Amino acid sequence: MPIHILGIRHHGPGSARRVRAALEKIKPDIVLVEGPPDADGILEWVGHDELKPPVAILVFQPDDPKKAVFYPFSEFSPEWQAILYARQNKIPVKFMDLPMANQFELRHQPTADSSLNNNVVVPDAVTLRRNPIAWLAAAAGFEEEETWWEHEFEYRQDEEQVFDAITEGMHALRTDLPLPYDREEQLREAWMRKTIRQAEKEMYTEIAVICGAWHAPALTHMPKAKDDNELLKGLPKVKTAVSWVPWTYNRLSYKSGYGAGINSPGWYEHIWNHPADDGIRWMARVARLFREEQKDISVAHVMEAVRLATALASLRGLPRPGLEELNEATLSVLCNGEDILIKLIEKSLIVSDKIGEVPIDVPRPPLQTDIEKLQKKLRLPQIADFKDYTLDLRKENDLERSIFLHRLELLGIKWGDRYDVSGKGTFKEQWRLQWDPSLSIDIIERGSWGNTVEEATNSYVKYRTQEATTLKEVCDLLESAIPAELDAAVDLLIRQINNLAAATGDVMQLMTVLPNLVQISRYGNVRKTDAALVEGIINSMITRICISLPAACTSLAEDAAAQLLELFYNMNDAILLLQQDDLTTQWQQTLSYIAHNNNTSPVIGGYATRLLSDHRQITGAELVKAFSFAMSTANPPAVAAAWLEGFLKGSGTLLLVDNDLWTVVNNWMNQLEQDTFTQLLPLLRRTFSGFSKPERRKLGEKAKSGVTTGSAAAAVELHFDEARAEKGIPIVMKMLGLKS
């Protein structure tokens, strides 16, 4: 029985064209294709109008979705054309590789020794691991095996039978090169031979086998069936599931990390659709791309670039220009030697951002089906390139989009990133979305939590809530769950926050989470959520903080005081944001107690005094009195300096506008001993480094002037230049319409 072994390169347009032509000539009654037999049941979809490559078969382990593998196909993949031929001619087509049900387990087992096959020689550690095809390329005078293969097989237009030559070349390589032992590859090839023998037993008379070129010799020169059966005996097996998923051209490229990828899928699609193109069509596409980018490209540019590419091919002994020659001509003629435009061609044409389509009726996990329905309903298509969306949450569709994206984010399905939006208000969100086919694995994994996005997200957040052990973890979850509108999960989160807040005695932990809860309460205006859900928690937490905080501010180390200082800053902002008189009064009373407590850490006491001043609770003579007391010579200089650091945190404006405070600070520094001043200098420099440059400059000028009393106007008078001022009088008089 004739067995036709067609050794090909994955995703090669020349290979695909030859496979199609060979099948038309052979007219087989069964087609066997290198691929996972687990997926035989979904090959019936090939040829469906709505299954548009690039697409991939996803094979995964349902009880452990992280164990998954993709088998991508493009229109110019030889395997795709073989399957399509079989479907169009209504003949059987099967995959013949080792099932993934076995491979998943084999990949997680220790490597076996060579005793499984006595004919295999295990080389030592220095065994050559170079790509074996590179040897054929080197023999032909090519530096790159990729270039050799393209010119010998992908660009060739004649009808020569190349499959015998491929098999012969690969057989020589496998025979002469000391290749490393690979048990998995042996098992795969044994299973392929087993499948071929099974087809023979089923009385098929013309068997077409499409496999990677490297495997062709192993299927042409078959060992005894007994040896293969012995090798395959007792293989471990797990349950698998399969589905079709959209794929992208950039995932077909080597950069995606896909091992059987190609450098230029966009270019390969071009030569698949236009095999006789001598470069004119390609250069026309390049010119159109440049014109869309507002680059001035004429017809003469295109003609000259094509002539140059043809000349380069002739000099190199090539039958016609390839991508390398066309790129060099483009760089010289169209880009004027600037390679930055070549990067644009690479992204848009050579690789391309094309993405495939899969029919909605294709069997897939329920969660994936729900996600795709929502994407269609909300007009959020899956695209390979990124796209920015600015959502106005006052609009119903944009609000639903936001809820959907927040839910996916909570599930860990990283479709997009959120960015801050400039302007006032909380009614806008900025998202950048870019679909990655590998997200299918994440979707499958999260599918165990529910069949819809809402159900799965609610269940997943509830699980994370029950597993959380700190108040911050739960508050972060609540902050994410509110914009996702997960009512069931939010109820549980609020109960958990109440329980944890009541049980914790750590006031710093309460102060850490409070600002985020206050921010959450603001969503009530835009998202139509009930802000009262968190207001009760906020009120009780503020009361707990106000009771416990004074004791927490005593006997603090420097690092702990600095950490608490930041919490004070955020806490004060949260209180101001709430604008509730009773809570503001509680906070002010707490600040007053902290500021007047002699045991309070000096930096905290200084900042508490500053906040009281900002709240207008202490002003004028009373503020000067408190300031003078803290900066008194009776206090150790280090304590006074720390208090000053807290009081001036973030702004030195008070010292500029209030000369009384300036006088106290200036006099205190003047009375310091030289050694003491030297010791305090690092602390003082840290204090003043927090001011803006204009503030530091004006404070320096004020210190240089020596002004210690009087109003701020007195400082100006010391620098008043009468002669210069008189020169401006005539201009001012003229502007006022007065005679000088």
pLDDT value at 697 more than 90: no
Biggest CA pair distance of the chain:
120
> Burial, 194: exposed, middle or buried (Cβ in 10 Å; 0-12, 13-18, 19+)?
middle
Q: Is the torsion defined by CA of 102, 103, 104, 109 positive or negative?
A: positive
Residue, of 70 and 658, whose pLDDT is higher: 70
* Measured distance CA(520)–CA(289) in Å, rounded: 46
pLDDT value at 108 more than 60: yes
pLDDT value at 112 more than 50: no
pLDDT value at 79 more than 90: yes
Q: What percent of the chain has pLDDT over 90?
A: 24
DSSP 8-state code for residue 40:
G
Locate tokens 């707490």: which residue? 590
* Measured distance CA(95)–CA(686) in Å, rounded: 71
Choose among 264, 250, 243, 209: nearest CA to 69: 243
Residue, of 720 and 21, whose pLDDT is higher: 21
Q: Determine the average pLDDT of the residues in 257-279.
A: 79
| Lowest pLDDT segment from 31-35, 669-673, 735-739 | 669-673
Give pLDDT, residue 256.
43
Choose among 702, 627, 695: nearest CA to 665: 627
* Measured distance CA(94)–CA(34) in Å, rounded: 9
Give pLDDT, residue 197.
93
Q: Determine the average pLDDT of the residues in 144-173.
A: 76
Peptide bond before residue 694 is cis, with ω within 30 degrees of 0 = no
Contacts of 133 (CB under 8 A, 6+ apart): 145, 148, 149, 173
* Measured distance CA(418)–CA(394) in Å, rounded: 18
- Backbone φ and ψ for 212, nearest 5 degrees, come out as -60, 145
Give pLDDT, residue 497.
82
Would strands 3-8 and 93-95 be described as parallel, antiparallel, or unpaired?
unpaired
Question: Could you report how far apart the first and last alpha carbons of the chain are, in Å?
Answer: 119
* Measured distance CA(164)–CA(217) in Å, rounded: 10
SS3 of 202-259: the string is CCCCCEEEEEEHHHHHHHHCCCCHHHHHHHHCCCCCCCCEEEEEECEHHHHEHHHCCC
Please, which pLDDT band fits residue 198 given cuts at 50, 70 and 90? very high
Bridge partners of 210, per DSSP, are 6, 33
| Lowest pLDDT segment from 431-445, 465-479, 563-577, 696-710 | 696-710
Beta-carbon count within 10 A of 302 CB: 21
Strand locations in 62-176, DSSP E?
A: 64-73, 93-95
pLDDT value at 122 more than 50: no
Give pLDDT, residue 120.
37
Give pLDDT, residue 308.
94
Give pLDDT, residue 329.
93
- Backbone φ and ψ for 244, nearest 5 degrees, come out as -90, 140
Helix and strand numbers (H, E) in the chain are: 35, 10
Contacts of 189 (CB under 8 A, 6+ apart): 215, 218, 219
pLDDT value at 78 more than 80: yes
Please, which pLDDT band fits residue 522 given cuts at 50, 70 and 90? low
Locate tokens 């074996």: which residue? 132
Would strands 428-433 and 387-392 be described as parallel, antiparallel, or unpaired?
antiparallel
* Region for 178 from its dihedrals, namely left if φ exceeds 0, alpha if ψ lies in -120 to 50, beta otherwise: beta
The answer to whether residues 485 and 440 touch, using CB atoms and an 8 Å cutoff, is no
Give pLDDT, residue 401.
93
pLDDT value at 116 more than 90: no
The angle, 0 to 180 degrees and rounded to 10, between the axes of the packed helices 558-578 and 532-552 is 150
What is the layout of strands, in order, in the sheet containing 55-61?
64-73, 55-61, 241-246
pTM for this model (two decimals): 0.68
| Lowest pLDDT segment from 47-51, 124-128, 160-164, 433-437 | 124-128
Please provide the average confidence, as pLDDT, over all residues in the chain. Answer: 82
Q: What percent of the chain has pLDDT over 70?
A: 87
Locate tokens 């860990």: which residue? 412
Choose among 79, 46, 300, 358: nearest CA to 208: 79
327, two tokens: 């790129």
Q: What pLDDT digit, counting tens, does each position of 282-339 carry?
A: 999 999 999 988 888 889 999 999 999 999 989 988 788 888 899 999 999 988 888 8
Type of residue at 578: L
372, two tokens: 């795709």
- Backbone φ and ψ for 427, nearest 5 degrees, come out as -95, 10
Type of residue at 581: D
pLDDT value at 130 more than 50: no
Residue, of 674 and 576, whose pLDDT is higher: 576
pLDDT value at 537 more than 70: yes
Type of residue at 238: V
Q: What three-state secondary structure class fits 49? A: coil
* Measured distance CA(418)–CA(482) in Å, rounded: 16
* Measured distance CA(445)–CA(464) in Å, rounded: 16
Give pLDDT, residue 191.
94
Residue, of 110 and 225, whose pLDDT is higher: 225
pLDDT value at 628 more than 80: no
Would strands 64-73 and 416-419 be described as parallel, antiparallel, or unpaired?
unpaired
pLDDT value at 257 more than 60: no
Locate tokens 């483009």: which residue? 330
Choose among 70, 74, 93: nearest CA to 82: 93
Type of residue at 50: E
257, two tokens: 């990390």
pLDDT value at 351 more than 60: yes
